[in-house]
Structure 1
C-alpha cells in the first residue's frame, strides 16, 4: 500500500483513544470542550502542523492531522487535557496515512461506535471540520476526506439498515429502566442535564414509559423549558436539585461538566434510588455507591446492552463496508491525481514554452506561416501528450513516485506548487 502524503515531509496521522481500551474515567481526562479544541488548533498552527481536525465525544477523543511524527499530535492533546502522555500511551492508537484514512471512514459511519450504527459521530466530524476551517487549519485534503466520510455515512443510512431500530445510549438507558424497574408509570423520574443525550433520553422516556411524573432540571432553565414544553413536563430550578433528588425514584444525570455534579451529600439515603450517569467524564461521584439504597449505573455498562436490534444491524455491516470501500476508492483516486497534478501542470507549462518558441521561430522563418492553425494543432498535441502521462500515472501497475521523478528529470521541470 502506497503512502499518501500531501506534503513532502509530513504524514497523515490519526491519534486517539476510545471506549475499546479506555474506561470512562480515562476518557474523561482526555475529553475536549470547544475552547480546548480551538486552543489545540491554534497551537498546532504555531508549530507548523499542516491541517488538523479534533473530535471529542463521550466515547472517544481523536486528532487527525499532518505531522512529521505522531508525538507532535499526542503532545498537543496531552498539554491541553488532564491526562499524561504515559496514560495516553497505555490506551491509545496511532494510525498513519492509509490506515488513518480508513479509520476515519470507520468512525464516521458508525462501524466503530460503542453501539453499532450510532450515527451521532458524523455531526461531531462536521463540527470538528467547521472549527478547523474557522481556525484556518483545514487543508483541501481534510476537506475532501471529511466530505467523503459524510457521503459514505449518508449512503449507508439510505442504502442499508445499519442504523435501524432504536438503539443509542439514550435508548439503552431507558431500556435498562424498563427492564429493572417495576410500575415505571408510577415512579418519579428526575432528568438532570438537557444536552443532546439528555434530550434523547427524555424523548425515549416519554415514548416508552408512559410516565408523566418526569421533572427536568438544567443549569440554564430556558433549555429545560424548551424540552418540557414539547412533552408537558415539569421544570424546576437548579437550586431545587437536592429537594427533587429526594423525591425521585430514578435520577438520570446527563450533564456535561468536567467534575461531578451529583455527590453523596445531595442524596437522601433512606429511600431507594436508581441513578444512571450518562456523562463523560463521570458526573456522579463514586462515593454515592457507599449508600445502601442507591444503585449507580454508568454509560459504559449501559452501552453493553445488546438486543435483537444490534444483532439485526450486524447483518448490514458487509454492505456498509462495501459502500465505504467504493467511496474511499474515489477519494484515493482524487488523492493520487492531486499528488501528480503539479508535475502534469509543470509539464504542460514546459511544452507550452517549447510551442511558443517554435511558433515564434517558424513565423520568422516561413513566409505566410499560419500561426493560428499551428497553435490549434500544437495545443491538441500537448493535450494528448499530457493526457497520456496522466493515464500512465493513474495506472495501478505503475510506481507513481518513480515515474514522477523520471518525468521531472527528462523534461527538467521546475515545480511551483506543493
Structure 2
C-alpha cells in the first residue's frame, strides 16, 4: 500500500505552459497524448507523487499535483515529452497552493483561453481526472477541486453570456476563408485528418458556404467515413492525398500527428492554394511557404481574429469572476475544515478518555455519585471546549499551522498530517 498521507512539506502545484508565452512549435514539443498521460501517471505514482492531474490541449499543457518541489512535476513532464527543462523554463509558469487553485478555476472556466469563454477545456479537465482516477492518482482534494471547477463552469455557462455567439478557432478559420476566398461555393475543399477543430471548421463551412465540394481523407478510412456520413462529404483513401491536394483550392489540415504530414513535395498544383494548419504540433512543414501559389496560415494566427463577439463577451468577465470567487470560497472553507477536523476529532477523543477516567474514579469514590448527570455535564463541556478551538482555527488566518501544532503539543495528540500547508 502506498502511503496516501501527504507529508507536512508537500504543496499543491500547477506547472505548465500556454499560448501566452509558448508558440505552437514549443507547445507541440510539450503536448501529451493519452498514452503519454498514462505513462506520466505511472511514473508519478512510482515517484511517490500523491495526486496528479494532466491536461493537454492545442493551447496549453499543464500538470496539477502534490509535490515537495515543483521540479518533480516539471521533470515528469519533460521525461514524457520532447521538451527540455531549459525550454520549459523559458515559457513556463509555476503556481503554488492558493495560486494553483485560483489558476485551475481560471483555466477551467474559459477565462484563460486563447479565445475568451472557450469551454472546450472543461471536458479536458473531466478527462484528465478520469485518467488520474484510473491510475489511482486522485485524492479527496483533487476530486473536490475538479468538481468545484466544473460547478463554476456550469454556473458561468448558465448565468452569464461569456460563451455566447460563435467564436472559436474553427469559427475564426471559417471567417478567414470566407474573407479571403471569393466564390467559396465553387471551390474544392479538402480536409486532411479528423481533429476536432478541423471537423468543426468543416461543419461551419458547410453551414456558411453552401459548399458541397468537401473531401475528407484520414489515415484510417473508417474514422473518415463515420464523420463524412454526418456531413455528406466525399471520402478518399490516404493514398490519394497527393492527387486530391492537386484538385483542392483550400486544404484544411487537422491531423494529430507528432511530425509534419504535409510538405512541399506533396504539392504539385500551380493554381492558388490556401492551407490552414489547425494542428498542434504543426502538421505542415515551413518549406511549403517557398511555393508562390500557396498561402499557409496556422492556428495561432487565426486565434487573433477577434470580432464583436469577443468584445461583447468581455462584459461578462466580472460576473464570471464573481461566480468563481463564490465557488472557490466554498472549496477553501471545505479545505480549511478538512485540515483541522482531524485535530479537533483527536482532541474530542482525548477529552472523552479523560472524562471516562474521571467518572470511573469518582463513581468508585463517592457513594451517591450520579453517573448520568456527570455524563451530561462533562459531554457538554467537551462540546464547548472543542467548539472554542474550532472557532479559533477558523479565524486564524495565517497561523493555523502554528495553532494546530500547539493544540497537538498541549494535548499530546497523535495525528498524521493529511494536507499540504497553504
In 1, Cα distance between equivalents of 2:381 and 2:101: 38
| 1:11 matches 2:7 | no
In 1, Cα distance between equivalents of 2:151 and 2:342: 27
In 1, Cα distance between equivalents of 2:299 and 2:397: 49
Kindly tell me: are residues 377 and 195 of structure 1, through their superposed partners in 2, closer, same or farther at Cα, counting changes over 3 Å?
farther
In 1, Cα distance between equivalents of 2:230 and 2:96: 46
Shift in Å, 1:334: 1.1
| Structure 2 equivalent of residue 194 of structure 1 | 194
| Structure 2 equivalent of residue 270 of structure 1 | 270
Shift in Å, 1:24: 0.5
| Structure 1 equivalent of residue 362 of structure 2 | 362
Shift in Å, 1:11: 1.2
Shift in Å, 1:331: 1.0
TM, length-normalised to structure 2: 0.94
In 1, Cα distance between equivalents of 2:408 and 2:210: 72
1:308-346 deviation per Cα after TM superposition (whole angstroms, max 9, x unaligned): 000000111111111111111111111111111121111
In 2, Cα distance between equivalents of 1:337 and 1:7: 18
In 1, Cα distance between equivalents of 2:222 and 2:341: 53
1:260-314 deviation per Cα after TM superposition (whole angstroms, max 9, x unaligned): 1111111123121100000000011111111110010000000000000000001
| Preserved CA contact (<8 Å) 1:269 1:294 | no
| Structure 2 equivalent of residue 146 of structure 1 | 146
Pairing 1:147-186 to 2, within 5 Å after superposition: 147-186=147-186
| Structure 2 equivalent of residue 126 of structure 1 | 126
C-alpha RMSD of the superposition: 1.6
Stretch moving more, 386-395 or 143-152: 386-395
Shift in Å, 1:396: 5.2
| Preserved CA contact (<8 Å) 1:269 1:291 | no
Give 3-state SS (helix, strand or coil) of 1:190's partner: strand
In 2, Cα distance between equivalents of 1:13 and 1:331: 17
Give 3-state SS (helix, strand or coil) of 1:173's partner: helix
Query: Number of paired residues?
Result: 414
Shift in Å, 1:64: 0.9
Shift in Å, 1:397: 5.4
Pairing 1:52-63 to 2, within 5 Å after superposition: 52-63=52-63
1:206-234 deviation per Cα after TM superposition (whole angstroms, max 9, x unaligned): 11112111111122222222222222221
1:183-207 deviation per Cα after TM superposition (whole angstroms, max 9, x unaligned): 0111111111113222211211111
| Preserved CA contact (<8 Å) 2:8 2:417 | no
In 2, Cα distance between equivalents of 1:323 and 1:11: 26
Kindly tell me: are residues 356 and 177 of structure 1, through their superposed partners in 2, closer, same or farther at Cα, counting changes over 3 Å?
same
| Structure 2 equivalent of residue 212 of structure 1 | 212
TM, length-normalised to structure 1: 0.95
In 1, Cα distance between equivalents of 2:236 and 2:387: 69
| Preserved CA contact (<8 Å) 2:252 2:276 | yes
| Structure 1 equivalent of residue 79 of structure 2 | 79
Unaligned 5+ runs, structure 1: none
In 1, Cα distance between equivalents of 2:190 and 2:229: 16
| Preserved CA contact (<8 Å) 2:7 2:417 | no
In 2, Cα distance between equivalents of 1:16 and 1:296: 28
Shift in Å, 1:368: 6.0
| 1:413 matches 2:413 | yes
| Preserved CA contact (<8 Å) 1:392 1:398 | no
| Structure 2 equivalent of residue 234 of structure 1 | 234
In 1, Cα distance between equivalents of 2:356 and 2:266: 84
Identify the structure with bigger relative contact order (alpha carbons < 8 Å, sequence gap 6+).
2
Shift in Å, 1:416: 4.3
In 1, Cα distance between equivalents of 2:373 and 2:192: 78
Give 3-state SS (helix, strand or coil) of 1:271's partner: coil
Pairing 1:7-406 to 2, within 5 Å after superposition: 7-367=7-367, 369-395=369-395, 399-406=399-406
Give 3-state SS (helix, strand or coil) of 1:110's partner: coil
| Preserved CA contact (<8 Å) 2:165 2:309 | yes
Give 3-state SS (helix, strand or coil) of 1:14's partner: strand
Unaligned 5+ runs, structure 2: none
In 1, Cα distance between equivalents of 2:373 and 2:210: 82
Stretch moving more, 78-87 or 362-371: 362-371
Shift in Å, 1:171: 0.9
Give 3-state SS (helix, strand or coil) of 1:262's partner: coil
In 2, Cα distance between equivalents of 1:309 and 1:6: 45
